[in-house]
Amino acid sequence: MPSSPTANHPDRGPSAPWHMPWALKASVGVHAAAGVAVAAMPELWPQALASVVANHAAITALGLWPTSRLLGPNILRLPPAAITRREITLTFDDGPDPAVTPQVLDLLDAFQVKATFFCIGVRVLQHPELAREIVRRGHRIENHSHAHRHTFSVSGLKRIEQEIRRGQDAIADTVGRVPVFFRAPAGLRNVFLDPVLHKLDLRLASWTRRGFDTARSDADYVAHRLIDNLAPGDLLLLHDGHAARTSAGTPVIIEVLPRLLEACLARNVHPVTLDAAFS
C-alpha cells in the first residue's frame, strides 16, 4: 500500500482516534435534550419532536453541501506547501470511459501534466486495461464509490462502508494501488461517511471550483468557471465520465481541457496529482 498523505495533517491520520464532527455532536445533544425534556415534562413532546425534526433537516441540508466541513474533514484546497510550489490539482470523476478517457490522457500527455482520476469501481472492472493505462501514464486513481448510487447520501453506515470497500477492492485489484482519497457521488454525504473514511484510512476530497461539465454543453461557460481567477492551491473538478456533449457531439471536456492547460502555463501554475500535492 502506498504511504498515506494523511501523516502531514493532524485532522486525519491512520493512528489518530476518530473525533465526532461538530454537527454530529450537536445532533446528539439535541436528541438527548429532547429525551430529557419529555421524560421530565411529557406535555412538551410536540416541542421536543419539532426540535428533533428540525435537527434532522439541518443535518440533511449539510449533506447536500459538498464543500461543508461540519460533517467531518474535507479537502477543499491544496496545502500551503503546494500553494508555495504554485501547484493545482485536476481531478476527473465518473470514469474510466472508453470514449472520453483516452482523449483526456492524450491531452494531459501533450502538456506533460499529471492528474487524479476519481473512478467508479464498476467502471474500473468493466474497463480494466483503460484503468491500468491511466496509472501507466503516471496519473493516480482514487475512490469514487463502487457503483455511484444516487442513494449513497441517504444510505446507512453498513451500506456506505460496503460501497466504499468494494470500490477500494475493485481499484486495488485492477491497478495494484490502494486509493487514499475518496470523493462522494455528486459530493453528497451524511453523518455516517466520516467514521467509515476514518476506519478505511481515506480522506474526503471535494473541490475549489467546478465547471458543471456534465450538465452544460457550452464550452465557453465551462472554461470560464474553471479558468477565471485560477490560482495556486485550486482543486478542480472535471469529468471524463458522464461528460456533456457540445452541439457538434464532442465531449465538452475535450474542448475545455486544452484551454485550461494553456491557462495553467500562462499563469505559471503546475497541475500535479492529489497525493503529490500532499507529499
Amino acid at 222: V
- The rounded radius of gyration (Å) of the Cα atoms in the chain is 20
Contacts of 119 (CB under 8 A, 6+ apart): 94, 95, 96, 131, 134, 141, 142, 143, 144, 171
Which grid coordinates are listed for 40? Answer: 421530565
Q: Which residue among 239, 240, 270, 275 is the active-site one?
A: 239
Please say if 239 is a catalytic residue.
yes
Other CB atoms within 10 Å distance of the CB of residue 89? 29
Q: Which residue has the cell 473512478?
A: 119
| CA separation for the pair 248, 252 (Å, rounded) | 10
Under 8 Å between Cβ of 161 and 210: no
Amino acid at 129: E
Active site residues: 93, 239
